[in-house]
Amino acid sequence: MTASTPTILAIDAGTTGIHALAFDRDLHPVATAYEEFPQHFPFPGGVEHDAREILAGVDRVVGEVVSKVGAPAAIGITNQRETIFAIDAASGEALSRGIVWQDRRTADRCKELRAAGHGDLVRERTGLVLDPYFSASKMEWMLREQAPVKAAAERGTLRFVTVDALIISHLTGGERTATDPTNASRTMLFDIERRDYCDEMLDLFGLDRSMLAEVVSSAGDFGDAQVDGVKIPIRGVLGDQQAALFGQGCWGAGSSKITYGTGCFLLLNTGQRRARSAAGLLTTLAADETGAPCFALEGSAFAGGSVVQWLRDGLGVLEEAAESCDLARSVEDTGGVVLVPAFAGLGAPHWDPDARAAILGMTRGTTRAHIVRAGLDAIAFQCADLVEALRADADLPVDRILADGGAAANDYLMQRQADLARAAVERSDELQTTARGAAAIAGIGAGWLEDPARCAALSRGHASFQPGLSPERWEEDRGAWRAAVGRVLSRP
């Protein structure tokens, strides 16, 4: 690889770390760098990020990749979506730590709004449910509880930004503070049919348009980044799950994927038809093959790869995440153990922010292998619930699941997923589909890729996992899972 070889740089700002990847014209990665950043837990249920730690990580990984391949033709950004920061538009500095999508501090406020009858309006305008997962109640809390945020609002310099807009403001030296429709649609402030911020939602949460980032087409002009004194155009932005959908080539109605990241997210592209879920799924915005907005159904499981991270860092039963596969296979079953990973409540289809995690069914004979296996099973059970909800809503058989994300590398998990979802699981040989989606959308925005469907990376090989569980065993396993979930729900 030489500095003259053209590339697109993707910045993938996830929940636990920052990836920078350079992609060639066939959307194959040719250079990569990664850095984790700290997670802050100020109180039970609270999860925060420090903007300085994220942006320092961005600078380092981008600098490392650019030093290997030279200045890219354009930059694409993908990011954890609902996490929100308050910045001062005059200085570009964050006014406080950001509140992460996993944070539950506004659960009571969301209950209050539901009790007051606002749930149907929120659902109709935004496609979302009144849950602390989304950004609006976080913004309202920051404006009410944090003096620096309130002072900036009084000065007229307050800007609430999702992580993509935070990075864009940083890279452009404050010249642009912009987001795209897929991220805006997760704020609970965006009318997904009008494709604009909704005055009714702004009034509901006591916010003003001037406090929000400009919304630009996903394959649009987000300004120029300054990298080592060189201007590089930022020409594409997608929220992480929509980027994974795009990076899997799921541009047409009826195509779907599951991303196994910190959480697990099922998305089904429904094209220009807005589907309304009766089974607990969300309606959100994605991007079609040109980068224009389209509709999607989404199911969110808040705990995916974070379960394995907790088993390693919190419980200490793993030395490394990679050993979970062999350890799970070292026992015949979980020995009756069921782990429900409601560390941040439960997402779809339950939407219960007050549910709490539990390990049930332990005996004196329970070992760490049983608990690890139960943890991996929990990821697969949650995603199977999402698939069942999708089948009910979309009236589709859903007999094939495209899988990506870091946790998808676990063969035990993928086989268990196929068994529990009763569908073939196809895992791409290249798991960095989220970053590839960011590169592809930027390539379209920069006029660098006319037809990403022709890129070689999208005709890649894959590993296939076929369902093989007997109907009797499936019923037994699913019944045990449902009973365990029923034990941790905060409401019937």
- Summarised one tens digit per residue, pLDDT across range 58-108 is 999 999 999 999 999 999 999 999 999 999 999 999 999 999 999 999 999
Which residue type does 103 have? D
pLDDT, position 261 = 87
Q: Residue 47 in contact with residue 102, Cβ under 8 Å? A: yes
pLDDT band at 3 (very low <50, low <70, confident <90, very high): very low
- The rounded distance, in Å, linking the Cα atoms of 169 and 79 is 14
Torsion over CA of 275, 279, 281 and 287, rounded to 10 degrees? Answer: -30
Residue 349, preceding bond cis, omega within 30 degrees? yes
Instruction: Judge whether residue 265 has pLDDT over 80.
Output: yes
Helical spans, DSSP H, in 146-304: 147-155, 163-171, 181-184, 199-204, 240-247
34-38, 183-187, 250-254, 361-365: least confident range? 250-254
Instruction: Judge whether residue 161 has pLDDT over 70.
Output: yes
Instruction: Judge whether residue 483 has pLDDT over 70.
Output: yes
1-10, 241-250, 271-280, 463-472: least confident range? 1-10
Spell out the domains of the chain, with CATH numbers in brackets.
Answer: 8-238 (3.30.420.40)
Cα–Cα distances in Å, from 426 out to 249, 268, 404? 14, 16, 9
pLDDT, position 215 = 97
Q: Residue 285 in contact with residue 293, Cβ under 8 Å? A: yes
pLDDT, position 429 = 77
pLDDT, position 451 = 76
Which residue type does 280 have? G
Q: Which residues contact 222 (CB under 8 A, 6 or more apart)?
A: 77, 168, 172, 176, 178, 216, 234, 235, 236, 237
Q: Which of 5-9, 113-117, 249-253 has the highest mean pLDDT?
A: 113-117
Looking at per-residue pLDDT, the higher value among 455 and 122 belongs to 122
Tell which residue, 211, 82, 209, 213, has the closest CA to residue 149.
Answer: 211
pTM: 0.87
- The rounded distance, in Å, linking the Cα atoms of 146 and 95 is 9
pLDDT, position 1 = 39
Given the DSSP bridges, would you call strands 358-360 and 338-340 parallel, antiparallel or unpaired? antiparallel
pLDDT, position 456 = 62
For the residues 109-131, what does the mean pLDDT come to?
A: 95
For the residues 302-318, what does the mean pLDDT come to?
A: 92
Round the average pLDDT of the chain to a whole number and report it.
92
Partners of residue 57 on adjacent β-strands: none
The strand ranges marked E within 344-420 are 358-360, 400-404
pLDDT, position 478 = 95
- Summarised one tens digit per residue, pLDDT across range 314-344 is 999 999 989 999 999 999 999 999 999 999 8
- The rounded distance, in Å, linking the Cα atoms of 124 and 126 is 6
pLDDT band at 430 (very low <50, low <70, confident <90, very high): confident
Partners of residue 287 on adjacent β-strands: 293
pLDDT band at 2 (very low <50, low <70, confident <90, very high): very low
Q: Residue 134 in contact with residue 186, Cβ under 8 Å? A: yes
Cα–Cα distances in Å, from 201 out to 189, 246, 352, 434? 5, 28, 22, 30
For the residues 30-50, what does the mean pLDDT come to?
A: 94
- The rounded distance, in Å, linking the Cα atoms of 114 and 415 is 39
- Summarised one tens digit per residue, pLDDT across range 434-482 is 999 999 999 999 998 877 777 766 666 678 999 999 999 999 999 999 9
pLDDT, position 148 = 97
Instruction: Judge whether residue 368 has pLDDT over 90.
Output: yes
Q: Which tokens sit at 331? A: 């026992």
